[in-house]
Amino acid sequence: MRYFITFSYCGTDFHGSQSQPNGNTVQAEMEAAFATILRKPVALTFAGRTDAGVHAEKMVAHFDVEKPIAANFGARLNNLLPASIAVRDIQRVKDDAHARFDATERTYYYRIATRKDPFTRQYRTRIGTILDYTAMNQAAKHLLGKQDFASFCRSHTDVKTTICDVREAQWVQESETEAYFVLTADRFLRNMVRAVVGTLFEVGKGRMTEAQFKEVIAAHDRCRAGHSAPAEGLALVEIKYPNNLYL
């Protein structure tokens, strides 16, 4: 039988979400906790991957077990997991439900601050210059819709298509010193959000026009886009699934 597990993590302590030979990862920590409780290896399939330093307010993974898990299973996991990972919910789903392929929509926030703050430095990227949010939002409108985002995809990434359907793309000012960028789509490419944000920074600093930003999208060439924004400002905040997956 299959379950979806929903959890959060601070990416600062990890070399990314998914297991790799060198460096601690979220998946390695979670699978170790599962193995301790169930006394056997359990493989977790994540809804997606995040790079080193990137956070998740909501990540989902699926796992299979032979018999129903106990009601206190999530609490037991939290007792074993480091403080930087927190299990939020575990739900039974259909046996063919897939955490990655059945997701219909994902939302990322990229948070920035123009004032130095030691209490938010792990979760907001500090920007040393004043940005033109109006110009960035005008440019961001060109991201909307189903189109090829190869210009914002990490080079040599093994994907079948670079087509994504972007449903929301806008900057929201929270205060004079803090803002965040919302990007929602059906799927994302490796490094896509950070590449988009880094390019929008160029617009916000007056180094790139709206027309040039549109040309970057149309070029389908990563070399035309700006540098990737730093990891610490990025967080996966929402993943949506069809209701009929849950039992």
CA-CA-CA-CA dihedral for 151, 173, 110, 84, to nearest 10:
180
51: annotated active-site residue: yes
Nearest to 4 by CA among 109, 130, 97: 97
Are 141 and 167 spatial neighbours (Cβ–Cβ below 8 Å)? no
CA atoms of 145 and 167, how far apart (whole Å)? 6
Angle at 236 between CA 112 and CA 25, to 5 degrees: 105
Beta bridge partners of 238: 107
Set 51, 89, 117, 165: catalytic member = 51
The helix (H) or strand (E) run that includes residue 168 is: strand 163-173
**Which residues are the active-site residues?**
51
